[in-house]
Amino acid sequence: MELNAHVRAALEAADEDRIVFDLAGIEAQYDALLRELPGIAVRFAMKACPVDEVLGALAARGSGFDAASPNEIAQALGTGVPADRIHYGNTIKSDGNIADAHRLGIRDFATDSLEDVAAIAAHAPGSRVFCRLATSGDGALWGLSRKFGCSGTDAVLVMEAARAAGLTPAGLSVHVGSQQMTSEAWQDAFEQLADVLTVLNGRGVFPDHINLGGGLPALGYVDSRGTPLDPPVDKIFAVIREGFERLAAVSESPLDFVMEPGRHLVADHGAIRAHVARLSSRKQLDGEREHWLYLSCGKFNGLYEMDQLQYRLLFPSHPGTENVPAVVAGPTCDSDDAYDHEHSRVPVPASAASGDPVWILSGGAYATGYMTQGFNGFDPLPYTCVDGG
């Protein structure tokens, strides 16, 4: 991924650590998504980047929001979008969460169980529910499999129970897993959706929405082995377009389509300015000498996804110098705050010294929300937004 001039300038100007969001890049990504999938309603998954300026830019473009809690709903409303552009996309909610959301004006709720439907009927009467089907998560870097979603058989029971409880059984949803790398995962999801839709229609239940969830990949990632990820995005969009057509043909009532992209809109439009804490070399118990690059930020303040990814690192004060292979780690006294054995070693300038700036690319998703409130005394990264428009 190329750094654009505005982001580069902001990284160069930063003499303290921070994360830089490129608002124009995020807006362009949103526009590109709508060109690929004309007519879809976008509900940005706030969890991927709960930054007011980012949410405001997307809201101004016409996006709505997928919120996972009353606090996220309140933040989404703060952008000025009407409540009907926000849905409660979390299948997990207490009675109090549902009542709070209802008070805030929310009428669209994700669900996946009879217990949750009964709670929505009690605390958000008359609302619209979207039943989430379980997927395997195969092909995704983060599968999201067991915790969410129900079988097709259960989905029919859930939607019938919703109708009986005075709710509107409005839609079906899926999530194929985050950073989904295969178009087949979407193909399988469409098969499932078509089957359940057919059964529902046969029982006189006519959903009017299909929510395809998140999972659209970022383009600038490197996997834990150091291999650039090259998701087949064109194929994925083609499969989604065909899937929409197929569902529209299967359904006995008109369907609208929703997606909840998170990572795809923001990941490649956020970059971190960190610095080298120390490059050291230590003999391990097996006798092997290893270089370790300790950065000023890690799993607990910006690099939460270091379990599956290698972040692309640039060392602007060491252009074209001799490298050594190193394990990358964050600054805390926690051994989870490091690349693990599965990760390949990363080339790092041999002369990297404490305080040298390090730029970390494609770090815009699942960074800010996942920062601890000062674990081990390391502050969450502040952020800056640049607008190259």
Binding site for ligand PLP (CB under 6 A): 45, 47-48, 66, 89, 144, 175, 178, 213-216, 260-264
Q: What are phi and psi of 380, to 5 degrees?
A: -60, 150
- Given a contact cutoff of 8 angstroms between Cβ atoms, the answer to whether 289 and 324 are in contact is no
Q: Which is nearer to ligand PLP, 133 or 279 (CB)?
A: 133
Q: Smallest distance from the beta carbon of 282 to ligand PLP, in angstroms? A: 36
Q: Which is nearer to ligand PLP, 47 or 102 (CB)?
A: 47
Q: Smallest distance from the beta carbon of 175 to ligand PLP, in angstroms? A: 5
Q: Which is nearer to ligand PLP, 365 or 385 (CB)?
A: 365
Q: Which is nearer to ligand PLP, 18 or 43 (CB)?
A: 43
Q: Which is nearer to ligand PLP, 14 or 67 (CB)?
A: 67
Q: Residue 357 half-sphere exposure, CB side, CA atoms within 13 Å?
A: 19
Q: Which is nearer to ligand PLP, 109 or 383 (CB)?
A: 109
| Of the candidates 209, 66, 221, 65, the residue with the CA atom closest to the CA atom of residue 142 | 221
User: How many Å apart are CA 190 and CA 212, to the nearest integer?
Assistant: 9
Helix (H) or strand (E) holding 135: none
Q: Smallest distance from the beta carbon of 279 to ligand PLP, in angstroms? A: 33
Q: Smallest distance from the beta carbon of 255 to ligand PLP, in angstroms? A: 19
User: How many Å apart are CA 165 and CA 376, to the nearest integer?
Assistant: 49
Q: Smallest distance from the beta carbon of 356 to ligand PLP, in angstroms? A: 32
Closest residue to ligand PLP using C-beta atoms: 214
- Given a contact cutoff of 8 angstroms between Cβ atoms, the answer to whether 370 and 304 are in contact is yes
Burial of 250 (0-12, 13-18, 19+ CB in 10 A): middle
Q: Smallest distance from the beta carbon of 143 to ligand PLP, in angstroms? A: 11
Q: Residue 160 half-sphere exposure, CB side, CA atoms within 13 Å?
A: 13
Give me the residue label for tokens 């995005």. Answer: 233
